[in-house]
Amino acid sequence: MAKDPVPVLGVVCGLDREAAWFPTGSGETRVAVLVGGMGHRRAAAAARSLAARGVRGLVSWGSAAALDPALAPGDLLLPEGVITARRGSLPAHTEWRTSLAEALAGRIGTVEAPLAEAPAVLATPEEKRSLREATGAAAADMETAAVAEVAGRAGLPWVALRAVADTAEDSLPAAVLSNLTTDGAVDAGAILRSAGLSPRVFLSLLGLGRSHARAGKTLRRAARAAGPLLRLPAALAPSPEVP
């Protein structure tokens, strides 16, 4: 029996909807997209699983919360590294990140300032301002630091491609916070039901939905511009004929 081909690229997402933003074509076997769930522990487990499968590079992929007030929904983040509470700053792979930036130049603008690791969902502008003051980062997510740490231990290159889904001044309604699941699923129906009939909350949810849609559109454009392996340097990736 023929063995399944070993994927070349491993992509870690926190949410199901973020995985859907990665446009893997039919028959594409060189990319493995894995939804680990939200947070450091789950993302680390997903990254370890991909590393054990023999991938040549890891990508942290999905949405991020803006910390810089200048960032808008849909802005693309290609950070030079991630700032963690435990291990300081962890740099992304320079050659790979440069190759990606060149592929996107003239098509999609990128923000290369570092990400920060968020220990939990950043629900208020005050929480975002506090993390920006502590780290100087442009945006934050809960998974990139885990991917970077696993990549470092496994001797793998890593990059992050994240798009802004909520601004530095956005708050997340209680209806969202109470219905987030750590396994990566988003129950939109439950969110709407728990929001009740408040016009203010409904409009807030509608705005957040539009912002997430902009983030997804940006990431799809970035993936198409960069190609299925996201410009993983040739020296790190075998040709498709190599098992």
Q: Look up tokens 């016009």; give the residue.
A: 199
Q: What is the DSSP letter of 1?
A: -
Distance of alpha carbon 31 from its chain centroid, rounded? 16
Predicted confidence (pLDDT) per residue in 162-190, tens digit: 999 999 999 887 666 665 666 655 555 55
Q: For residue 177, count other CB atoms closer than 10 A to its CB.
A: 14
pLDDT greater than 50 at residue 101: yes
Q: What is the DSSP letter of 148?
A: H
The reported pLDDT for the residue numbered 239 is: 45
Mean pLDDT of 11-36: 88
Q: Across all residues in the chain, what is the average pLDDT? A: 87
Taking each helix axis from N to C terminus, what angle separates 40-52 and 144-154, rounded to the nearest 10 degrees? 40
pLDDT greater than 50 at residue 233: yes
Look at residue 116 and give its three-state secondary structure: strand
Domain positions in the chain are: 9-170+214-226
14-23, 135-144, 159-168, 190-199: range with lowest mean pLDDT: 190-199
Q: For residue 174, count other CB atoms closer than 10 A to its CB.
A: 12
Enter the pTM of the model: 0.88
Instruction: Give the burial string for 33-72 (b: 16+ CB within 10 Å, else e).
Output: bbbbbbbbebbbbbbebbbeeebbbbbbbbbbbbbbeebe
d(CA 216, CA 185): 16
Label residue 199 by pLDDT band (50, 70, 90): low
CA 54 → CA 5, 12, 59, 83, distances in Å? 10, 14, 14, 26
CATH superfamily of 9-170+214-226: Nucleoside phosphorylase domain (3.40.50.1580)
100-104, 131-135, 232-236: range with lowest mean pLDDT: 232-236
Q: 193 with 149: CB under 8 angstroms?
A: no
Q: 25 with 14: CB under 8 angstroms?
A: no
d(CA 42, CA 144): 11
pLDDT greater than 90 at residue 128: yes
* Both structure tokens of 135: 């780290």
* Segments in the chain forming alpha helices (H): 16-20, 40-52, 94-104, 125-135, 144-154, 174-177, 188-195, 199-226
The reported pLDDT for the residue numbered 241 is: 40
* Both structure tokens of 83: 């700032």
